[in-house]
Structure 1
């Protein structure tokens, strides 16, 4: 239910923000990672075009209970996070959901180091990865898991520094992944969009309370 709770929290933050000054920040992220690493950590920098053009980001996935052998691990990830979530279509597709509602022991950790504006942000996020079934046979074939789309919801907690001291809020990201199959090393490209409030003020205690409850 954690992913659903994040959606509810976003609605709460939106209502609270109507009575306060909201800060919108976004950036283009590009980086790499590998689900066969333990733990899987995707890291990278910022491309030009957004509000943050110089900095660093990371998304860490809690992999407690996953096999350590790369072949067994890859099969485990597919069987548990993708295979049960098939949607017929033209083409059909699988979706891999990486959040506490779908088997993770804790939500994915997000860290953002904004060198452009001078500050850091800490939070959690969901990960949703789509894999197309190009020939619609409901079987993962060679080449089908080499590229696709990714998206997720974001919660920023009140533990930032510098420009983000006392800030909290919500957001989302969407983009794509690609890997040079059969290599499992992935490149991610995405835009992340954040709506932040000064959660150190009394008027924002409702916002911060909802976000803190989710993070804990």
Structure 2
């Protein structure tokens, strides 16, 4: 999902290429006001090329959750009171694409795309959007889309993880998390602010 312009907000699910036999990695990223570098990478508990799976976001003014088949793999909490940025002021569109990122995505750019395997195909099914719809005539996005209780995702029960979802997230982090920008001391000599609070 992405808004437009240099100061865009963006939420990403990205499947990174692999060497045959190695697990596929799914990378998530959060951009706020044009700044990203908030990546996490996970292996999955299944082969994502063998069948369809559900990849979704739960995004409200309090929490941004990345889910795979309803299981949270990442949570990005709104910590604006601590001075961190949170994507909530821009409407976004949903995009799907195939993108050659072999300058960085495939083992840090060491492996290049094998174009003899083309054409590359991405297929979607059961595509659903349950969101606050904006149009050019719509009033301020913050007022329109964050009214508590107006939508199922703004009800107080959706402001965090319940016990079951919290256990699922802990399992995913323990078994499948392979990279977290908050732990990357090479890229960040000081952890980003949202990693500290």
TM-score by length of 1: 0.29
More strand per residue: 1 or 2?
A: 1
